[in-house]
Chain A
Amino acid sequence: MDPTLFTQLLISGILLGGIYALASIGLTLIFGVMKIVNFAHGEFFMVAMYLTYWVVHYFHIDPYLATLILVPVVFLIGIVTYYLFIRPTLSSSVLAQIFITVGLSTIIQNVVLLFWSADFRSISLGYATDSLVLGPFPALHIEEAMVSPARLIAFGLAILLSLAFYLFLKLSYTGKIIRATSQDRSAALLMGINTDRIYRLTFAIGIVLVGLAGGLVLPVYSVHPFVGFDFVLIMFVVVVLGGMGSVVGAMVSGLIIGVVEVFSSYWIGQENKQVIYFLVFIAILVVRPSGLFGLKEEEELEHIETID
């Protein structure tokens, strides 16, 4: 394959993967700690895009700045959602939980439709969307390669956030508490941990993370009430592939999915690319249900629980 083309596809794939990873970190956290499959996750992504859009629209500030300003608002949304919809279902069956989030997603989509109409809104941000041209690199036979700053920013933040989160969960005391709660809720209660607070915190952080993702991709995508749905399936693929609860897994599998998607859309055809990654997804699930980066020990220990 022609090195220029190859490089470009690789760059595009990695940058796309960065966006996927960024969008999925929050989901994997909620998934991993609370064992809740949040089908409304895409809608929070959408709401964050809207909020950023409106702030940019009315106050004419930079979208990246707007995204940061919005963190407390999104956090609050997370808390409110937790109290209204998540906390009452913590002890319900998996099914009831899933379908409450399905209902929630219907509600959010249509409330947004009602208030903000079905128009497709986007911002144009010169500096972030004019590509940087790298090259040529004659030694590598690469003529030129384009990098979109907006995507680069999203990618960089994805890496930063997932690393920071990994370290937070691994090393910090709160991280340990979160992990402990995710493994055995009643034991955590007995250690004097206010698990309700941990769940609330986890859920809200998850929503903030997806909110950040929504704001950061606004220069790249347009927002409409149903945009969440375009992303949510990919988020699930990324999360399961990476291993539920593994932020680093989400990062790496986001990149894998991004690269696979771009290359397969070039070679096999844009219309079939989803088939490819869904099949890859099913295959990996079947071969390794704990995901690529789910702890191997985790798989084995789970086994102990199911067979003495």
Chain B
Amino acid sequence: MLKVSGLNVSYGDVQVLFDVSLEIRVGEFISIVGANAAGKSTLLRAISGLLKKTSGSIEFQGKQLVGRPPYAVVEAGIVHIPEGRHVFPLLSVRENLEVGAYTRRKSRKDLRRSLEELYGLFPQLYHHRDQLAGSLSGGEQQMLAIARGLMSRPTLLTVDEPSLGLAPMLVEKTFQILEHINKENVTVLLSEQNVFNALSMSDRAYVIENGRIVLTGAGKELLTDEHLKKAYLGM
């Protein structure tokens, strides 16, 4: 479904990603792991069209995405949930969700149905629906960010460090939700520092180091990989 090949990305004069290639099939749950600054976020941002200096090829359902603006990428069906939540602080929870459905704004009825579905998935959000998003707790904001991303019914969801700064209970919850979404036929591409959790959930994973993909394999297999154990699991 998604085919990245020979991707190079730079910030200014500094190249961050080197010749990255990966492939994702429909319905998969894929993780990207790697040290800090390895380029995980950069990869996700490049896919979502946020970065300018990008070369190589990103093909999604046969369409070339490199060089297209972010909104075109969203329209193609890829939604990115950025690191740090980025909810609209002065819009209510409900309004946040409505804005999330931007690409499908034409149909009111559709919008209402998605809204109800997501409220079902995230009862807390329903509870806080008229509260300003900026006043939600960190965990709730993370829920909202994910829910908002789902409003446009993406075929591929890319998520950047959703567990960052969440209390243990919420971390669990977040992973459960991602798993659930994946079961509902949304392909998930996840970047996580919580390597153990991420790998144990994933169908496959890519390991990225200094901007290059160095390892790939099934999630559970990688958990037992010696190099990985040393470098990322601290074991």
Interface residues of A (CB under 8 A from B): 173, 176-177, 179-180, 183-184, 186-196, 295, 297-298, 301, 304-305
Contacts and interface: CB of A to CB of B under 8 A. Distances in A.
B100 A179 contact: no
B181 interface: no
A294 B149 CA distance: 29
B102 A177 contact: yes
Size class of the B contact interface (CB-based, 8 Å): 20 to 34
A191 B90 contact: no
Contact of A187 (B88, B132, B134): B88
B82 A186 contact: yes
Contacts of B48: 190
A180 B94 CA distance: 12
A304 B135 CA distance: 9
Contacts of B71: 189, 192-195
Given A184-B86, A186-B86, A304-B134, A192 B74 contact: yes
B50 A192 contact: no
Interface of B: 48, 50, 69-71, 73-75, 79-82, 86-91, 95-96, 98-100, 102-103, 105, 132, 134-135, 148-149, 152
A177 to B, nearest CB: 6
Given A180-B99, A184-B86, A190 B105 contact: no
A304 B137 CA distance: 12
B90 A176 contact: no
Report whether over half of chain A's contact residues are helix, strand or loop; otherwise say mixed.
Answer: helix
A190 B82 contact: yes
B80 A190 contact: yes
6 contacts: A180-B99, A186-B82, A190-B50, A191-B148, A297-B134, A301-B89
A193 to B, nearest CB: 5
A297 to B, nearest CB: 6
Given A186-B50, A187-B87, A191-B103, 8 more contacts: A177-B102, A187-B82, A188-B88, A190-B81, A190-B149, A191-B99, A298-B90, A301-B134
Contacts of A173: 98, 105
Given A190-B48, A192-B152, A179 B103 contact: no
A193 B101 CA distance: 10
Given A189-B50, A189-B71, A191-B74, A176 B135 contact: no
A55 to B, nearest CB: 37
Nearest to A173: B105
B70 A189 contact: yes
B91 A191 contact: no
B90 A192 contact: no
A104 to B, nearest CB: 26
B90 A301 contact: yes
A222 to B, nearest CB: 42
A5 B28 CA distance: 78
B155 to A, nearest CB: 13
A38 B60 CA distance: 41
